[in-house]
C-alpha cells in the first residue's frame, strides 16, 4: 500500500503537468504563485547560518521551482540537487538546468540509496494524499520520513496541511500538530521546529539532528 500511494500521487501530479505545464499549477499547487514563493522562502529557512556552501537535496523537486526561486533571489551558499520519481518532471527539469545533478530514486525501495546532504527539503511531498485514507497516508508519511532522515546530516524540512483551517479538502493530508510531534520525538528526535506562522493552509516542520546552540550562551 505504501508504494501504491506514492505512485498514485506521482500519476496525479503528472496529470497537472500535462494540463498546466511549467507553472505552479503544473507543480500541483492551486493557489497564487506568490504563495509558492512564500513556501520556498520558509522551506529554505531550515538552513542554519554557515560560513561555507551547504548541500541541499530538493526531494520531490518536480519542475525545479525551488531552484528557480534560489537563482532568482540570489540565495547564497547552496549547492542544489534534485530528486523525483516522475520521468516527466525530471525531463523538464534536466532540460531547463542541464548542469544540475538530478536523481531518479525510489527510497521506499530498501535496496536503493542516495548520497548524504546537509539539508533535505520536501516541499509538497506530504501535502496531497489523493484517494488514500488518512491512516494510509499517515503510515506512508511516517515510513518516508524515517527513510529519508538518515541522508540529512544537519536538517530536514517538510510541510503538511494544517488542521487549523476553515475547511479541509478530502484529497489533502491534514495532520494534527500533536500527532506529528509525538511521532517526531519517537522516530527522529526532539530537536524540531514547527512553522505555522506564514499564513498558508499548511505548516512546515524543521527537524534537526543536532540541537540549536545560541552563540550568546557562551561555553
Supply the pLDDT for residue 23: 84
Supply the pLDDT for residue 16: 86
Question: For residue 155, what are the contacts with CB-CB under 8 A and spacing of at least 6?
Answer: 46, 47, 48, 118, 119, 120, 206, 207, 208, 209
Question: For residue 63, what are the contacts with CB-CB under 8 A and spacing of at least 6?
Answer: 17, 22, 26, 27, 89, 92, 93, 96
Question: Residues 131-176: pLDDT tens digits?
Answer: 999 999 999 999 999 999 999 999 999 999 999 999 999 999 999 9
Q: What is the CATH number of the domain that holds 61?
A: 3.40.50.150
- Average confidence score pLDDT of the chain: 93
Supply the pLDDT for residue 217: 64
Owner of C-alpha cell 512546515: 204
Q: Which cell numbers in the block locate residue 93?
A: 527539469
Supply the pLDDT for residue 48: 95
CA distance 137 to 194: 20
Question: For residue 6, what are the contacts with CB-CB under 8 A and spacing of at least 6?
Answer: 85, 106, 108, 140, 144
Position 189 confidence tier, pLDDT thresholds 50, 70, 90: very high
Question: How many structural domains are present in the chain?
Answer: 1
Question: Residues 77-113: pLDDT tens digits?
Answer: 999 999 999 999 999 999 999 999 999 999 999 999 9
Position 29 confidence tier, pLDDT thresholds 50, 70, 90: confident
Contact status, residue 81 vs residue 117, Cβ threshold 8 Å = yes
Closest CA relative to residue 157, chosen from 121, 131, 192, 181: 121
Distance from first CA to last CA of the chain, Å, rounded?
49
CA distance 92 to 22: 8
CA distance 32 to 12: 20
Specify the range with the lowest mean pLDDT, choosing from 10-14, 56-60, 95-99: 10-14
Answer whether residue 1 shows pLDDT above 60. Answer: no
Percent of the chain with pLDDT over 90: 81
Supply the pLDDT for residue 77: 95
Position 4 confidence tier, pLDDT thresholds 50, 70, 90: confident
Supply the pLDDT for residue 33: 72
What residue numbers bound the domain in which 24 lies?
A: 2-217
Amino acid at each position: 500500500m505504501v508504494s501504491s500511494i506514492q505512485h498514485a500521487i506521482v500519476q496525479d501530479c503528472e496529470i497537472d503537468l500535462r494540463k498546466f505545464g511549467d507553472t505552479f499549477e503544473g507543480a500541483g499547487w492551486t493557489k497564487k504563485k506568490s504563495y509558492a514563493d512564500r513556501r520556498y522562502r520558509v522551506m529554505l529557512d531550515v538552513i542554519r547560518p554557515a560560513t561555507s556552501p551547504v548541500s541541499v537535496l530538493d526531494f520531490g523537486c518536480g519542475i525545479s521551482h525551488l531552484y528557480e526561486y534560489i537563482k532568482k533571489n540570489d540565495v547564497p551558499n547552496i549547492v542544489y540537487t534534485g530528486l523525483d520519481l516522475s520521468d516527466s518532471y525530471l525531463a523538464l527539469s534536466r532540460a531547463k538546468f542541464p548542469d544540475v545533478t538530478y536523481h531518479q530514486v525510489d527510497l521506499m525501495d530498501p535496496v536503493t540509496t542516495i548520497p548524504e546532504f546537509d539539508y533535505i527539503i520536501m516541499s509538497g511531498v506530504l501535502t496531497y494524499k489523493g484517494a488514500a485514507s488518512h491512516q494510509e497516508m499517515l503510515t506512508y508519511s511516517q515510513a518516508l520520513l524515517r527513510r529519508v532522515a538518515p541522508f540529512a546530516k544537519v536538517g530536514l524540512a517538510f510541510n503538511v496541511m494544517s488542521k487549523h483551517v476553515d475547511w479541509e479538502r478530502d484529497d489533502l493530508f491534514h495532520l494534527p500538530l500533536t500527532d506529528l510531534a509525538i511521532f517526531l520525538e519517537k522516530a527522529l528526535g526532539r530537536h524540531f521546529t514547527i512553522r505555522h506562522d506564514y499564513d498558508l493552509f499548511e505548516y512546515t516542520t524543521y527537524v534537526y539532528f543536532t540541537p540549536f546552540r545560541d552563540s550568546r550562551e557562551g561555553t
